[in-house]
């Protein structure tokens, strides 16, 4: 069975969804790694009996030094794929040249790269909005797209209803993208 490592920074809802849908079915989630000791996703993964690790970026002098330690930790689990699921770090070449990874992004890339994509997408005049899963590359949110799914914004869309649609698509799209990517590596 193929192995994945999930990287996350916060609530961990997408990580939890991945574990529930795929763990010990389509792949084995060998670890969830966070860069924040107070990430709520730690409890969610522990409840699902998935091993977790904490590697706080604030303890490192540079992005590259942190990324080198992160790569070392990831490689200790020998994953076939690394899944960034709300991992709020810009990764250096130290990471991108050593790890096969995919990332979930809450916009239709190439629009709204980087942080606060949901807010920027909502505030835009775009009628067609959605979610992307892409390969991680040296360019922020610039790797080749694996899957995208869109929706048409309603005329009376609120930020809460917009966010709920994004989250629903994320929950659907990321497991599909993981399965698709793991099959590519066979």
Residue closest to 154 by CA, chosen among 130, 127, 180, 119: 127
- Distances in Å between the Cα of 76 and the Cα atoms of 26, 81, 97, 162 are 21, 13, 17, 39
Q: Provide the 3-class DSSP secondary structure of residue 64.
A: helix
Q: Which of the residues 57, 105, 134, 180 is marked catalytic?
A: 105
pTM of the prediction? 0.95
Asked if omega into 58 is within 30° of 0 (cis), the reply is: no
Residue closest to 149 by CA, chosen among 164, 133, 138: 133
Could you give the CA distance from residue 83 to residue 18 in angstroms, rounded to a whole number? 10
Could you give the CA distance from residue 83 to residue 147 in angstroms, rounded to a whole number? 14
- Distances in Å between the Cα of 153 and the Cα atoms of 28, 30, 50, 126, 130 are 36, 37, 36, 8, 9
Position 12 scores a pLDDT of 95
Could you give the CA distance from residue 30 to residue 141 in angstroms, rounded to a whole number? 25
Tens-digit pLDDT profile for the chain (186 aa)?
999 999 999 999 999 999 999 999 999 999 999 999 999 999 999 999 999 999 999 999 999 999 999 999 999 999 999 999 999 999 999 999 999 999 999 999 999 999 999 999 999 999 999 999 999 999 999 999 999 999 999 999 999 999 999 999 999 999 999 999 999 876
Position 47 scores a pLDDT of 96
Could you give the CA distance from residue 170 to residue 176 in angstroms, rounded to a whole number? 10
User: Which domains does the chain possess?
Assistant: 3-184 (3.40.50.170)
Contacts of 33 (CB under 8 A, 6+ apart): 5, 6, 7, 8, 52, 53, 54, 55, 70, 73, 74
Does the annotation mark 105 as catalytic?
yes
Position 184 scores a pLDDT of 85
């Amino acid at each position: 069975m193929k192995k994945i490592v999930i990287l996350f920074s916060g609530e961990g809802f997408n990580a939890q969804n991945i574990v529930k849908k795929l763990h010990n079915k389509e792949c084995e989630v060998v670890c969830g790694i966070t860069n924040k000791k107070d990430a709520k996703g730690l409890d969610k993964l522990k409840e699902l009996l998935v091993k977790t690790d904490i590697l706080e970026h604030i303890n490192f002098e540079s992005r590259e030094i942190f990324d080198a330690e992160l790569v070392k930790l990831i490689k200790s689990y020998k994953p076939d794929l690394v899944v960034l699921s709300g991992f709020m770090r810009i990764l250096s070449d130290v990471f991108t040249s050593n790890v096969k990874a995919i990332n979930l992004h809450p916009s239709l890339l190439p629009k709204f790269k980087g942080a606060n994509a949901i807010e920027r997408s909502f505030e835009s005049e775009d009628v067609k909005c959605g979610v992307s899963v892409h390969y991680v590359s040296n360019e922020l949110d610039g790797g080749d797209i694996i899957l995208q799914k869109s929706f048409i914004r309603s005329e009376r869309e609120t930020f809460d209803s917009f966010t709920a649609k994004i989250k629903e698509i994320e929950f659907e799209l990321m497991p599909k993208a993981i399965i698709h990517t793991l099959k590519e590596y066979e």
